[in-house]
Amino acid sequence: MATMDAVLINKTGGTEVLEYKTDVPIPTLKGGEVLLKNEYIGVNFIDTYYRKGLYPITNFPYIPGSESAGTVAAVANAGNLYGLKVGDKVVIHHSSTYASYVAIPAARAVRIPERLSTSSAAAVSLQAMTAWSLVHEAHPVKAGEWVLVTAAAGGTGRWVVQMAKDLGATVIATCSTAKLDLVRQLGADHVIDYNKQDYVKLVLDLTSGNGVAAVFDSLGKSTFDTSLQCVARKGSMVSFGNTTGTVEPVDIMRISGKSIKLVRPRISAYIATREELNATAAAVFKFLERDGVKIDIFKVYPLRDAAQAQDDLESGKTTGKLLLKA
């Protein structure tokens, strides 16, 4: 039986539960599937949520991961392959990507444009597509609006800043002291050091007491209450991450006074169909062609160092994308 390298977990917990194995069977294809030989694998906070048990895992052993890019190594003998063939370069949003190979429905694979490397595709696909969905669907940003982005130097936050600016918004961004210059370079109009400054007061001062049309908050528990105070009447509170923990249950009457829209989006719901996936991917790939848009890869780790990559991600000291090399 042919085998591959992979990272497994047999129980939820800290990064110590991530086990690197070299004898995992290569997946067998079902109808309509392709076998992807991974080249680069994205490291994302959602991977840590599954590892910790925040999101349920139904079967162990479990291979983590949510995105990767590489080359189609084999295709099924039956089913709709959507024109994919051996040798095609594709990027995927799928589970179990911390491995040398992954079997996926062809419907969930997107061809990588020739101008984009596999490392760049893996670096932007999940986070940039998430950001695109946030500013176009969770709260469609309009020119002239004020928006607030927390953790703006993070993997998704940096894309939200750039995309909101491209749509004509005035962007207020929060980050740590060490990342202030980076966030300014991304195009934020006003940058707040959340370690030293009261961002609720500053946001209200900047907006003449009105607040912002939308808050895009990835931190979760630690910032939800303060971010909610920054939302303007008829504005949107978009809470899309759990970096500091899960938001406590919310009394719906808290948002009634200003008729605030509360959204807890997840990218999988926005790209559930192949048509939605292709449309979002195409929009993001086109956005990457614009002047000044930068793809920032912080570090590439060997697959065996997945635990270190997740530790570094959760430390809050990284900027840009973390990748695993299969």
- pTM given for the model: 0.91
Predicted local confidence at residue 313, as pLDDT: 94
- Give the separation between CA 48 and CA 46, rounded to whole angstroms: 5
- Give the separation between CA 229 and CA 200, rounded to whole angstroms: 7
Predicted local confidence at residue 294, as pLDDT: 80
Tokens, residue 177: 């002291």
**Residue 158 main-chain phi, psi, to 5 deg:** -65, -35
Burial 231-270 (b: 16+ CB within 10 A, else e): bbeebbbbbbbbbeeebeeeeeeebeeeebebbebebeeb
Provide Rg for the chain, Cα atoms.
Answer: 20
Q: Which residue has the tokens 């007061």?
A: 201
- Give the separation between CA 215 and CA 203, rounded to whole angstroms: 11
Q: Which of 147, 131, 233, 140 is nearest to 189 (CA)?
A: 147
SS (H, E, C) 259-291: CCEEECCCHHHHCCCHHHHHHHHHHHHHHCCCC
User: Which residue ranges form the domains of the chain, and what is each CATH number?
Assistant: 3-115+290-325 (3.90.180.10), 126-268 (3.40.50.720)
Predicted local confidence at residue 25, as pLDDT: 97
- Give the separation between CA 152 and CA 149, rounded to whole angstroms: 6
- Give the separation between CA 298 and CA 311, rounded to whole angstroms: 14
Q: Which residue has the tokens 């994919």?
A: 84
Q: Are 58 and 24 in contact (CB under 8 A)?
A: no
Tell me the three state secondary structure of residue 253.
Answer: helix
Q: Are 34 and 1 in contact (CB under 8 A)?
A: no
Q: Are 7 and 89 in contact (CB under 8 A)?
A: no
- Give the separation between CA 206 and CA 198, rounded to whole angstroms: 12
Q: Which of 5, 36, 2, 35 is nearest to 20 (CA)?
A: 5
- Give the separation between CA 32 and CA 81, rounded to whole angstroms: 5
Predicted local confidence at residue 316, as pLDDT: 81
Predicted local confidence at residue 114, as pLDDT: 92
Cα distances from 148 to residues 176, 194, 197, 284, in angstroms, run 15, 13, 15, 21
The series of mean pLDDT values per 10 residues for the chain, 326 residues long, is: 95 98 97 98 95 94 97 96 97 96 97 94 93 98 98 93 97 94 95 92 97 96 95 98 88 95 95 96 93 88 98 89 96
